[in-house]
Chain A
């Protein structure tokens, strides 16, 4: 196996994690006090890991570019978190959650990792409730659940439309408790600029204080990267403006393999683009597909009339509407997985049935849910023979209680009332399944460098199911990494503090300074955003929802040329020695310009369609993804060799011992 040893424990699937925990080395509490750990990123994975590692007794330093750990982009997750609690008694189990996740990922993830995720999912809910996370409850006082795409049970726990916020604030609170005890030193408004290796091991980072501009050296016995995904390589995405790949990419350049970069999730329900000024896209939670029905007009002339503002969606008769997901996928209907729903929307819009000015939008309609809930509410309120207006009023109240904040957000952005007229939605880049390659212990190919949460590639295969990102982030941070990192650190109990006045740190710091000076010395023709937007257009048009070899090849060339242009002609005003947001952006975009090319290369080499990776050349007669298990049942882990186009491919074969590989069907 060479260096791509996934280190999956032997034994039956359900026993692997327990067995592994029993066999790995521990560090005794007195020795933990002598060991330092750096955690970069303070979202669900990083925040949870930092809190738990500090609680165990390690000395933790956290780094985030935001002004507070509470602002990490995990906070924006809306819909919920999955857990195999089976509180609904609808047949859920660890196995079912495991099975759904593997199938949802289109059989491109590791069995053992995913089973472990399902196994600890219940603990996450217990933990969060103990921390005071105010999950939604039923009238009897028990926790409520809802459904998400790609599954047939109700296993999603939620806190209105702000589940990510509540879970992140839970992890932030756990961090605060440790900061108060002096066990975590939090470096906010700091950005990791490079990883420092000593004798081949990750031993620290070079960071920049974003307020003073000062370059700092920080050492540790291990470095955890929990820095999120790279969706912003598309410029427009549902990610935060600051979300970036820098930490992961710097590690990649230092030897960490980057896995499956082309596996990107395009989320089906986002607010459509309104114009060239657009800086980011806003998600409308997948939970809305519990109650919203997706449609476009059946007749093209109706679609044209709507686009021209001559017809209102509410004026189109029921029989003239095409509920295309219900039509194509009767078993799962509107709750098909995200990749399937996104492609179906694109298919309708490409065929000319789009419903907004740009022709790139479909309807998400709550009218029938409002009526259904209104009737039920009237009955339980003792109103006999309610009239239409009463039903609608009561129904709107129920919808407001469930999704009020999302409806409000929609109205503020689009200036239309979604209670009265259907929402318009279109797919947008949302999540990246790919990321740093890690073994079962979440260690990258650099010893002592770990990756957790969205930053790693591990659990979602080629497509992530809804409400699974929060689950994975917290599982990695609270329950997996704190165990597995101990096994590595048990060899460091006699090492003592890592000095920062060594040649390794000198060189790393000098590299960082050189790079920043180079960024500041561009000829000054175009702004950083100019390049970022250009890159985004190439990515969206050629590496987006549908890809083909010709476009991917030209994307690689175009990105490479754009990168060259960027380094020669970018304009970064201000100085290096002070707060400088343009310089911050420039460093991030520089790395996106390298990652983008590797992304295209990965998509080009994978001659199959699976999950979010859809190659036009590989599809069934009715337009579904055509997987090639014989040739591509592997993780593509890329080794940096100098230029993204020359990255070297390493394959980790995926072994399925417990699940039979099938064609994924939601029909």
Chain B
């Protein structure tokens, strides 16, 4: 198929960017979206032009490196997939595709379609862990039985890949879904309850410091999340937060 691409090009963080038009022929349905961009880049390199830079790594939907706002949607039109697993069979011959970086104040553009998501790391550093030493000298893993339902729910929250689609989808560029996924994982497990009060306050504080907006419950994040992280986690984080601040 033949595609008309409108791609955001930006030299570096301090230069202004603009949309550049490209026409690409010979795209097949079995290609992934990133393989389609590979072909474009191969053409650009052969013409001596600089290829379009975009973040990607595992190309199997788990590392969370790839991003892209495709026709206005993070990770494109398909549901429950990252861009690397979006296949071109979702598009048809003659389509125009607009490709932009994830847009948020807290995610500044580094180059072309690459953004800086280190704000996410700093939110995790503020409290996204259980303070145990890694000596291995803990209690036997089966000492504390954990209800299967709770364990499964914790796992569902823990599957967040930190890609930032939730932020890009949100009109407020809120990072509540991301932050709440980690808060929930630990709030649901007995090991995590011990520091729950401090954790939620520290992580929320950092989230606000990074310049992310607040949640107004539109639910766009849940729709666009490639891992289907549930909005329930935001409700749980709010509950945890209220309970934490009322404890002082």
Q: Is B145 an interface residue when CB atoms closer than 8 A count as contact?
A: yes
> Given A126-B140, A478-B134, A134 and B151 touching (CB < 8 A)?
yes
> Given A48-B134, A409-B85, A573-B49, A579 and B12 touching (CB < 8 A)?
yes
What 0/1 pattern do residues 187 to 201 of B give for CB contact below 8 A with A?
Answer: 001011000000000
Contact of A125 among B50, B137, B141 (CB under 8 A): B141
Cβ-defined contact, A67 with B55, below 8 A: yes
A132-B186, A573-B50, A578-B12 are known; give 10 further A-B pairs, CB within 8 A.
A67-B55, A71-B63, A76-B58, A132-B191, A134-B152, A143-B141, A169-B158, A412-B78, A571-B45, A581-B51
> Given A75-B62, A124-B136, A277-B35, A130 and B191 touching (CB < 8 A)?
yes
What chain A residues lie within 8 Å of B134 (beta carbons)? Answer: 48, 51-52, 55, 127, 131, 174, 478
Cβ-defined contact, A134 with B118, below 8 A: no
Contact of B142 among A87, A130, A242 (CB under 8 A): A87
**Smallest Cβ distance from A277 to chain B, in angstroms?**
5
What chain A residues lie within 8 Å of B22 (beta carbons)? Answer: none
What chain A residues lie within 8 Å of B49 (beta carbons)? Answer: 573
Most B CB within 10 A of own CB, among A55, A75, A140, A242:
A75
What chain A residues lie within 8 Å of B101 (beta carbons)? Answer: none
Overall SS of chain B's interface: loop
What chain A residues lie within 8 Å of B80 (beta carbons)? Answer: 408
Q: Is A280 an interface residue when CB atoms closer than 8 A count as contact?
A: yes
| Chain B residue at minimum C-beta to C-beta distance from A412 | B85
By size class, the interface of chain B is 35 or more
Most A CB within 10 A of own CB, among B11, B28, B64, B144:
B64
One of A99-107, A175-183, A323-331, A505-513 contacting the partner: A175-183
Q: Is B242 an interface residue when CB atoms closer than 8 A count as contact?
A: no
Cβ-defined contact, A180 with B28, below 8 A: no
What chain B residues lie within 8 Å of A141 (beta carbons)? Answer: 145-148, 151
| Chain A residue at minimum C-beta to C-beta distance from B55 | A67
> Given A126-B139, A412-B87, A137 and B131 touching (CB < 8 A)?
no
What chain A residues lie within 8 Å of B110 (beta carbons)? Answer: 211, 579
**Smallest Cβ distance from A248 to chain B, in angstroms?**
18
Question: What is the interface of chain B, defined by CB distance below 8 A to chain A?
Answer: 11-12, 28, 30-32, 34-35, 38-39, 42, 45-46, 48-51, 53, 55-65, 78, 80-81, 85, 87, 89, 110-111, 114, 116-118, 120-121, 124-126, 128-142, 144-148, 151-152, 154-155, 158-159, 161-162, 185-186, 189, 191-192
Question: What is the interface of chain A, defined by CB distance below 8 A to chain B?
Answer: 48, 51-52, 55, 66-73, 75-76, 85, 87, 120, 123-132, 134-143, 159-160, 162, 165-166, 169, 172-174, 176-177, 179-180, 186, 188, 211, 238, 240-242, 274-275, 277-280, 282-283, 408-409, 412-413, 415, 478-479, 524, 527, 529, 571, 573-574, 578-579, 581-582
Contact of B128 among A127, A143, A159, A173 (CB under 8 A): A173
What chain B residues lie within 8 Å of A138 (beta carbons)? Answer: 148
Contact of B30 among A120, A128, A275, A578 (CB under 8 A): A275
| Chain B residue at minimum C-beta to C-beta distance from A415 | B89
> Given A70-B162, A141-B147, A129 and B57 touching (CB < 8 A)?
no
